[in-house]
Amino acid sequence: MPRLLNRLSRTLRPLIGILLWIVPPKRLTVVYSISAFEGNAGEVVRWLETGSSGQIVWLLDEIPSQNSVRAVSGTKSGASAVVSKRSFRGFWYFLRADTVLFTDLVFGGPKPPRNRTFVNLWHGDGPKVDTTAHFSAGTPAQFTVAGTIAWGTEKLKSFNAPSDGLIVSGNPRIDQFDRPASDDQLRALGIDPDRPFVLWAPTYRHTRLDSPHGAWKDSRVADPFDEVRIRNADLAKSLAHPGLQLVVKSHPLDKANLDFAATIQIANDDLASAGVGLYQVLARASALLTDYSSIWTDFIPLNRPIALYCPDLDDFSVGRGFDLPDFESYSPGPILSDADDLFAFLGEIAAGIDSSQSRRMKVVKLLGIVDETGATSRLMSQLSSWNDR
């Protein structure tokens, strides 16, 4: 059903664009994301609730419950309306809004008239070639938000967006770092707050069949983590002696099963039950383990160790590939190619060793990464100054 609705919206995009010209806008801000777990949208809604003089509507494809939405986003009940995008009411709010901020394709991506402001928040920027380029004709916006200069520039190319509309404020979701998860919230997730933990957040290689935009493959290898799975006993030993915890947060689109023994698994439903956002949990992590995901650029403001576990680097390079050449040159930490490398990195974290701090600082300058929180305020301030012109 989601894929059918997306295709229908793209087909009707010219008509929706005409309706935007005909229907007069009102003082209304619409924020759209697929789910409440998209932190960029949640932080913008949260900011608007503290100071917006107009009506605020958060459009969502998935609304498990109002309580879940409020819990993971930290928004206030009643200060904004949470509405299903798949409803006439949601569509009507979109047509009436004078400002629309989105993290994914919304109603086919019609071109905004001059009396509307469209802002492409998107859901991160990182090394992967942006395969959303086929949406480039369907994601028009006057402004594009990024967390890095280099990948913000690449994002403009993918979306065929105006170069003078790039706002390198940082992704709004990094502001969750200023509200770290409490000890009780960590316990609700099965994490011992008195012991250090590494958060492992790999990206997907093959998406699930029920992905909102359909299934696709970014690599010939769907699950490159077999060695870790086979060597679970060794993984358990590497964690047990120093008392380190390895917390795995799978990508919501991932087809692979990453339920390894000796690890703590958390999913979106767990975050909702604990009433906490992913980046609030990340704020308590001693280190980040990821790969080609944009999450590591967001982690930079915490100035903690990062490693990229990439046993399928060659396959991924010839699959989806990278938007900048020489992936290894802008890695923020070691690139781990096998389980032994992984265990060695975990050993360093357990010992309190940060061997790549200088490397991170060089990459911050090389890519122009935003390295401090306050992203949402910077974004909204810049939008305000532009609209005042």
The top-level CATH class assigned to 176-367 is alpha beta
The sign of the dihedral angle between the CA atoms of 13, 152, 280, 355 is positive
Listed by start position, the domains of the chain span 2-173+373-387, 176-367
CA 74 from centroid of its chain's CA atoms: 17
- Give the pair of three-digit tokens for residue 284: 């308590």
Contact 258, 250 (CB under 8 A): yes
Residue 4: how many other CB atoms lie within 10 Å: 8
- Residue 211: pLDDT band with limits 50, 70, 90: low
Q: Pairing between strand 55-60 and 97-102?
A: unpaired
Q: Over 90: is that where the pLDDT of 49 sits?
A: yes
pTM of the model: 0.92
- Residue 213: pLDDT band with limits 50, 70, 90: low
Two domains, one topology: 2-173+373-387 and 176-367: yes
> Using one digit for the tens of pLDDT, what is the confidence trace for 74-125?
888 778 999 999 899 999 999 999 999 999 989 988 999 999 999 999 988 8
Contacts with 12 (C-beta within 8 Å, 6 or more apart), sequence order: 108
Which stretch of 142-151, 171-180, 377-386 has the lowest confidence by average pLDDT?
377-386
Which CATH superfamily, name and number, covers 2-173+373-387? CDP-glycerol glycerophosphotransferase, N-terminal domain (3.40.50.11820)
